[in-house]
Amino acid sequence: MHDIRAIRENPAAFDAALAKRGLSPLSPKILALDEARRARITASETAQADANAAAKQVGQAKHKGDLDEFERLRALMADKKAEIAELDAQAKAEDEKLRDLLLTIPNLPHDDVPVGKDEADNVEIHRHGTPPNLGFAPKEHFDLPAVQGGMDFETAAKISGSRFVILSGGVARIHRALAQFMLDTHTTENGLTEVNTPVLVRDEAMLGTGQLPKFAEDSYQTTNGWWLIPTSEVTLTNIVSDTMIDEGYLPRRYTAHSLCFRSEAGSAGRDTSGMLRQHQFEKVEMVSITKPEDSRAELDRMTKCAEGILERLDLAYRTMALCTGDMGFGAQRTHDIEVWLPGQNTYREISSVSVCGDFQARRMNARFKRDGAKKPEFVHTLNGSGLAVGRCLIAVLENGQQADGSVKLPSALVPYLGGRSILTAEGVLA
């Protein structure tokens, strides 16, 4: 959420930043609501002062026996009480309107974010590896002979509908191995703390990280009001909600492997084949909580953590700085990491790492206090995939495919597969 004081102080800068995202000026509407709210608060305070003054005088009038003045002051106090209640209700209503509006406005981009309309304007900032020359026409993951028996979309559709899959045998074990490999790397080499969090959360948690109120249709809600998390960013970041953190406790760096659930409301007709876009999937998430001056460097650090997973898996990738028109709602700057998929002959997103500044912290009331400081400050939050497990499985299968229908697996996974390094054309680990 945005700082109303910053908007008051420099509305032109606020609107200029929104314009980079392709949005019309909003400061006039925001400031009009803010002015109306403040005017009613001031009027209520004035009425309260009048009521307090009358309260002092009413006793004096009674002591003097001035009954007319006594009754006048009593009537005045009753009027002021009603006036204060009405003004307070109006101020509360204006405050809710202002908050509701601010909750729907996206974060402001960093100055170093490329300005653009859509993904065509994203800027490549790093590239690693060379797409493999397989020597034959590559297949997509769901068409690989080695995968045919271990990736069942038909049975999943019978049970749950479209955009679900059942993994079994060697494919399921590779999927599990990938998640374990990611967690082990992040915890033993990258300094992240492993956390196991719920997948059901309250409204407040979704509101805090920006999924609500604007993107409710993108997630699933149970009949008793819980939300299924679209990513464990929600739970990991909310660990510090409504918390005052000691400066020495920062930075906090978390990772979690969890199920994620997304309705894919805006993706009709896209990636309908295979595992690329599912309603239920698994992801290893990274979340960092930092001091304001450390968050930009932390973005680069987290990006390298995600890139390192792909490098250990011998996968070619590129890293893109998203333009202002392609960034997510809560981000100030985002790095998308795209892995090479031979079956599609292109790079596809496998991780998105974002710095949010104090945007989420204001929504969650997550603050810290510097040593010796009188006033607390809002923390900065960051999140990123480290990585999407299903998409990583796709990349491993497609990049390792062999002419005989088998799949050669990355050496980094061999210890997690009981020493096996091949998924045979029959779907058996060997």
Active site positions, annotated: 262, 277, 349, 352, 391
Phi, psi of 153 (to 5 degrees): -85, -30
> Rg of the chain over CA atoms, in angstroms?
28
**Distances in Å between the alpha carbon of 351 and those of 73, 306, 310, 399, 430?**
69, 7, 10, 18, 30
Measured between alpha carbons, how far is 342 from 340 in angstroms, rounded to an integer?
A: 6
DSSP string, 217-279: GGSEE-TTS-EE-SSTHHHHHGGGTTEEEEGGG--EEEEEEEEEE---TT-TTSS-STTSS-S
**Distances in Å between the alpha carbon of 202 and those of 216, 218, 320?**
13, 16, 33
Closest to 415 measured CA to CA, from 259, 257, 184, 196: 184
Strand partners, 339: 317, 348
Measured between alpha carbons, how far is 399 from 377 in angstroms, rounded to an integer?
A: 47
DSSP string, 160-173: H-SS--EE-HHHHH
